[in-house]
Structure 1
């Protein structure tokens, strides 16, 4: 007996088909076949470029942000859409929201569909490419002006946003990791002791940095990624933009693009408010500590066994970069500290080449012979390959370094009657030890510098 196949149900709709249906409803246009291209990066959201054509042959382009299916946060996605709409009314350059909902057939998760805005977000290109030369010198001030517009956005449609104390929140995340770090304890105590008076709460973007806005030859085109937006002290956004991690190797303090004075000039033009350098410094210090804790929090997904990931493992080894940055911004780095020289390879029963030589050889082969064969369409593979090469370099440097630094740190800890860095951290937290003590700064500096010399020595320069 022949059986007529059943019509496909909603469960059989592909993601591209589901996006097409949403586009048709949002634009009122007849949309043809939809193609999707997933962007690399994005720790918590899946982001896709959407390309299609309508029945007249006109291009229809959009960007889809969705939660990973099965791990959605509808309230948070809805708040992100509300922020985009409110910011647009306030004059902030943002993508127009085409659609947002808790789910849709084929999309199967909370999502946000926005217009496609042309522009560049890659820091290296913004720092170096000639096409941005005409605007580069004024970008720091432009970003200050954009932040001013964000902070002037009315809050009457944004009641769902969090307004918790950010210092309490980041300390809670840090304590939850149960990995005491002396540098973090020093930072937390300093921040508690030097906190400036709070300002009136405004809309705070929460992640305003290079990579999260689009730049064209005429300036800032769009501010992206509002998932961390909240109500809070507006200077938080300015300090976050000044954190060294967001300079991506360039020397200028504001995203590698300009000076703090330029940033504050632009901000004052929009708001009439010019924060004192001390206030901006406090929030830059907070942002540095925040990134340190969030980096370690991200790495915990791998280290705690929830998700096996070379990318997250690499983040765990780079936490020391933020430790170094935190000590530097606090003025607590003992620059007289010298990390012990690398030891000679120990005698071994194994044949040559030595282990470090093999690691170097594999890294060189991946970099020089395999990486150039990957195409532009293989961006994810190229990204992972770079991470693998970096981890091989870290392993090689650790083998070269040997136990000398570990031994010297243990000796300095012993002079403070501490058996470990965790015990030193506990003493700093209780107040039994002071971050102003030169011996405390010396041992913390040596431990951090020793980790950094292995993980990423280029960060020192």
Structure 2
């Protein structure tokens, strides 16, 4: 018996108490297959008709909420007025399907942001975006007022949690350490705890036109401060390329989002506290990017997608420096500013060296071009997506092979008495450079700008020129 057939039979068995003895499983298909949990869609067929359902299944771990806890939390959220899928059954036991699982109704709508953007443009553009933004703020307020009695949710210091997670990898960056120093020195007084979604952002919301149809992915839910969810929704990564004036989920302004939340929750938010949590949220995303790369590098999950995500760390570093509002590199030229026309295989002078032509950069460019022009038009789905990711990874390698002189960056390090970034990171963490409030940010801008020129040219300019 195939694994799919076994899963079909198991699903029918667990659904009989809910839907009757004549239930049959049809159209079973996988939607996502993550390292820990997978999502499947299927139809439950009974004498009265078809019911579109979703299965989430995977082994337990120390990071995600259990399936039964997710179900209890979503029930509490629904009672508070939060739009969530109705859950038919959730079980922490692996007996029925081989792993803990959760089955819920399928909700019609979109989760892919580019498709949501097209829907919003058709539904009225900025007016539709503002309507959806308000729905998101009101739904988040409802989450935070949900009754958590009896849910037995974890409550952990978020700053310490992300410090430990970074330390567990045995890897850091100087900008991360500077952010940790700032967060430790500027920590605001604690606010009341409430139910926290933990991953409230575009991509985890089902949108139908300008309406919020449902909130998904409750696996990181816990007790915490409302600011955590508010700040996470407003980091740059979850704008998905939208301009800065649409800083809240790419839908509208952060001020509008917070104002709507205040109205819905009947609370007043403190700007300084929100800023602190936004810095922590941005740092959190940077650590997650580094962790995803570590999953690839360690051999846990070999993936070109995870490997390439590691090069996004410098994006979060730039965002952190902007949020900390420190001055850019001094005009003496400490930071190697990215120039239009950063060298590529078509503009840079070929340097054949001992290996002749094509150079390593030219070979990398040729393979990237093959993926872009031949493989992608001939493929679809996940292969097409990974071909695009692989081409992007090769373009990063090409730019690194052709990269400009890094001596200005090394000079910036030397002015702080450091020979490399690891030494700088250690000095920052030890507090040895706390009094260098101009020199350290200047050096960090030099380091991050140099990395961005290879990983994502123009990222640092887009924030200030778009829109």
Shared fold (TM-score greater than 0.5)?
yes
Deviation at 1:104, TM superposition (A): 5.1
| 8 Å Cα contact 2:371/2:387 also seen in 1 | yes
Q: State the alpha-carbon separation in 2 of the partners of residues 175 and 333 from structure 1.
A: 28
Q: 1:457 to 1:17 in 2, by over 3 A?
A: farther
Deviation at 1:350, TM superposition (A): 3.6
Q: Which residue matches 2:134?
A: 141
| 8 Å Cα contact 1:143/1:220 also seen in 2 | yes
Q: 1:151 to 1:417 in 2, by over 3 A?
A: same
Q: Which residue matches 1:95?
A: 85
Q: 1:381 to 1:347 in 2, by over 3 A?
A: closer
Structure 1 residue 248 and structure 2 residue 240: aligned? yes
Q: State the alpha-carbon separation in 2 of the partners of residues 192 and 236 from structure 1.
A: 16
Deviation at 1:361, TM superposition (A): 2.6
Structure 1 residue 83 and structure 2 residue 73: aligned? yes
SS at match of 1:382: helix
Q: Which residue matches 1:158?
A: 151
Select 1:304's aligned residue among 281, 298, 307: 298
| 8 Å Cα contact 1:179/1:422 also seen in 2 | no
Q: Which residue matches 1:383?
A: 385
Once structures 1 and 2 are overlaid, which stretch shifts more, 437-446 or 345-354? Answer: 345-354
Q: What's the Cα RMSD here?
A: 2.4
**Runs of 5+ unmatched residues, structure 2:** 463-467
Structure 1 residue 45 and structure 2 residue 45: aligned? no
Q: 1:318 to 1:63 in 2, by over 3 A?
A: same
Q: State the alpha-carbon separation in 2 of the partners of residues 27 and 459 from structure 1.
A: 52
Select 1:197's aligned residue among 173, 189, 194: 189
Q: State the alpha-carbon separation in 1 of the partners of residues 35 and 316 from structure 2.
A: 18
- 1:368-403, Cα deviation, whole Å (9 max, x unpaired): 22212224xxx221221111111011111111115x
Q: State the alpha-carbon separation in 2 of the partners of residues 399 and 305 from structure 1.
A: 25
TM-score, normalised to structure 1's length?
0.90
Deviation at 1:428, TM superposition (A): 1.0
Q: State the alpha-carbon separation in 1 of the partners of residues 286 and 29 from structure 2.
A: 31
**Runs of 5+ unmatched residues, structure 1:** 1-7
TM-score, normalised to structure 2's length?
0.89
Deviation at 1:328, TM superposition (A): 1.3
Q: State the alpha-carbon separation in 1 of the partners of residues 200 and 388 from structure 2.
A: 26
Structure 1 residue 315 and structure 2 residue 305: aligned? no
Q: State the alpha-carbon separation in 1 of the partners of residues 389 and 206 from structure 2.
A: 25
Q: State the alpha-carbon separation in 1 of the partners of residues 64 and 266 from structure 2.
A: 36
| 8 Å Cα contact 2:14/2:96 also seen in 1 | no
Q: Which residue matches 2:465?
A: none
Select 1:126's aligned residue among 105, 108, 116: 116
Structure 1 residue 362 and structure 2 residue 367: aligned? yes
Q: State the alpha-carbon separation in 2 of the partners of residues 197 and 400 from structure 1.
A: 48
Q: State the alpha-carbon separation in 2 of the partners of residues 47 and 11 from structure 1.
A: 15
Once structures 1 and 2 are overlaid, which stretch shifts more, 89-98 or 127-136? Answer: 127-136
Select 2:56's aligned residue among 65, 78, 89: 65
Q: Which residue matches 1:442?
A: 442
| 8 Å Cα contact 1:76/1:227 also seen in 2 | yes
Q: Which residue matches 2:285?
A: 291
Structure 1 residue 236 and structure 2 residue 228: aligned? yes
Structure 1 residue 267 and structure 2 residue 256: aligned? no
Q: Which residue matches 2:395?
A: 393
Once structures 1 and 2 are overlaid, which stretch shifts more, 296-305 or 342-351? Answer: 342-351
Q: Which residue matches 1:115?
A: 105
Q: State the alpha-carbon separation in 1 of the partners of residues 28 and 62 from structure 2.
A: 20
